[in-house]
Amino acid sequence: MTHPTPAQTGIAPGETAEQHAHFEARIARGEKIEAGDWMPAEYRRQLIRMISQHAHSEVVGMLPEGEWITRAPSLKRKTILMAKVQDEAGHGQYLYHAAETLGATREDMLQALLSGKAKYSSIFNYPTHTWADVGMIGWLVDGAAIKNQTMLAGCSYGPYSRAMVRICSEETFHHKQGKEMIVAYAQGTPEQRAMAQDALNRWWWPAMMMLGPHDADSPNSGVLSKWGIKLKSNDEVRQEFINEHVPELLEAGLTIPDPDLHQDEQGNWRHGPIHWDEFWAVIRGEQGLNRERLGARQAAHDDGAWVRDALQAYTDRQRAVAAD
């Protein structure tokens, strides 16, 4: 007689079915799981993977827009962009701290990123060719992120849920700022309108892919849904994003680059086929700027070594004083 494996049951060595039943009853009641609570090893592993990947996405996500700080067209636009990039750094900090509550270390997470072992949102491997890209990232990329993060604000792990509440409030400003920029350009000169349309042509499909593959093709969706980490499917979140953004883009006078886009009888906007081959190629680093993004993060990490060394020396000295 064969017995189910830990991979099939989700019960790791040293765990019991009773512990899992109690844990899943807490999830079913809508309780938040906190750092000191018992949790399955797989729940912890999935959260560390997901939260650290989210944190990596925030810090790598600073790069495409950060390239435009010195080229912003006005002091107002420059200060807005600087504040936004600074916010993204803060979001990375919130999320790294949330992952640390699960036992992950900052050093291990950063090493996983820099070595290419850990992933981040592939949308940040696309280049920003014009200033309008900065606005389109705010409107579409941050808009898609808000849809996903609003869902995660209700997830079962307390520290992650609470981090999402704060991050969403700040991302809302980023989204509004991006929309304001693109609407202004769409109503501006012919050159500005062309720039806005070109940015939409290049960012529409990556924003759609950013919300993840169909759940049937996502290996982690099942367990994430089971344990209340993920409350909606990728396709449900994508549909919410489309229903909100399509009317606004059309109202701005822009053309969405999807010839199959149409509205069904229920009022939902239905999109054409997504080219997932591009999505997976960008994730694997076969297309896009993965090498350049990781190179920039490695350079920043190396340049900051003296700060880490100084902080460690100060900490060691304070401990020595306390011990004396």
pLDDT at 288: 94
pLDDT at 11: 86
**pLDDT band with cut points at 50, 70 and 90 for residue 9:** low
Pairwise CA distance, residues 132 & 138, whole Å: 10
Pairwise CA distance, residues 217 & 240, whole Å: 20
pLDDT at 1: 45
Which residues are 262's β-sheet partners? 270
Pairwise CA distance, residues 191 & 195, whole Å: 6
* Model confidence pLDDT, tens digit, residues 188-208: 999 999 999 999 999 999 999
* Model confidence pLDDT, tens digit, residues 26-60: 999 999 999 999 999 999 999 999 999 999 999 99
Provide the percentage of residues in the chain whose pLDDT is more than 90: 90
Mean pLDDT (whole number) for 62-91: 96
Question: Which are the contacts of 85, defined by CB distance < 8 A and separation ≥ 6?
Answer: 62, 65, 66, 69
**pLDDT band with cut points at 50, 70 and 90 for residue 324:** confident
From its phi and psi, is residue 33 left (phi > 0), alpha (psi between -120 and 50) or beta?
A: beta
Lowest mean pLDDT among 9-18, 62-71, 240-249, 259-268: 9-18
- The count of C-alpha atoms lying within 13 angstroms of the C-alpha of 314, restricted to the half-sphere facing its C-beta, is 6
Q: Are 94 and 104 in contact (CB under 8 A)?
A: no
pTM of the model: 0.91
Residue 141 predicted with pLDDT over 50: yes
Average pLDDT, the chain: 93
Q: Are 55 and 109 in contact (CB under 8 A)?
A: yes
**pLDDT band with cut points at 50, 70 and 90 for residue 3:** very low
Note the residue count of the chain: 324
pLDDT at 154: 94
* Inter-CA distances, 72 with 77, 231, 295, 319, Å: 6, 39, 24, 46
